[in-house]
Amino acid sequence: MTHTLHRLGDEDSLKKDYVVVAIYAHGINDNQPDSRDKLLRIAEILKSQRPINMINELLWNFTPAIQAVYGDKGSFKAALRLLKKEDLGISITVSGLMSEIKEIAEELGLKLHTVNLSLGVFGNKKLLPSEKILEMTSMCGHHCVSPNLVKNLVQQVIKNKITPEKAAEELSKPCICGVFNKARAIDLIKNLISQK
């Protein structure tokens, strides 16, 4: 499961995109009687720092993983500070610019454990949509957000049928993990329109 790894975009755009994933180690954490309480506590902490998006609250009691996405370094850092302080023992993985994460980790006294580096996309790249569309669709790492939906909604914004905010909200719906960054999507939609 590498769904938050290959998010595309330039560094300026990725500075507004930080994902946090808390997950049970299957067969280890989930055997403990207090494990659900710990995961729920993590969900509350992540929610308290005003994420742009996060996994639907209705799923908190069933899912083995809690995800949230932040649009600024301050909220992201505040969430990590709280997670470290509460020391709940559930694995926490973050996705974002390496340089920024290293800086925050140093400031908070976190000792980074393991990294998954993205080498990008290979193979028959003629099949891919444009880079700009991919910046949007790769925010749902399971790729449930269709390139055609992006094009369709951008056209509706151009025709003043919907706002960029409404388009971003609609784009976020297929991403049930809650890691689609709606604020970044608004920026990308406006950017797409300005280039037309």
Partner 1 sequence: MIIDGEKCVGCGACVPYCPVNAILLENGKARIDEARCVECFTCYRSWICPEGAIKIPVLEWPREIRNAFSDVAGTHKVTGIPGRGTEEMKTNDITDRYGWGEVGFCVELGRPGVGTSFREAEKVSKVLAGKGVEFEKQNPYTHLIDESGKLRFNIGEERVLSCLIEFKTKLENVPEILRTLRSLESEVETVFTVGVISRFNPDGSIPILSLIEGEGFKVRPNAKINLGLGKRPGGDS
> By CB under 8 A, what part of segment 31-50 binds partner 1?
31-32
Q: Residue 190 CB, nearest distance to partner 1 (Å)?
A: 20
Closer to partner 1 by Cβ: residue 130 or 191: 130
Residue 183 near partner 1 by CB under 8 A: no
Residues 6+ apart with CB under 8 A from 81: 108
Half-sphere exposure of 37 (CA within 13 A, CB side): 4
Site string for partner 1, 52-91 (x = CB under 8 A): -----------xxx--------------x--xx--xxxxx
Binders of partner 1 among 85-144, rule CB under 8 A? Answer: 87-99, 101-102, 105, 110-125, 127-129, 134, 137-138, 142-144
Given 45, 46, 68, 145, the residue binding partner 1 (CB under 8 A): 145
Question: What six digits make up the tokens of 142?
Answer: 């399971």
Closest CA to 4 of 60, 66, 82, 63: 66
Closest CA to 89 of 135, 27, 150, 38: 38
Residue 1 near partner 1 by CB under 8 A: yes
Residue whose structure tokens are 């309480």: 37
Neighbouring C-beta atoms of residue 189, cutoff 10 Å? 23
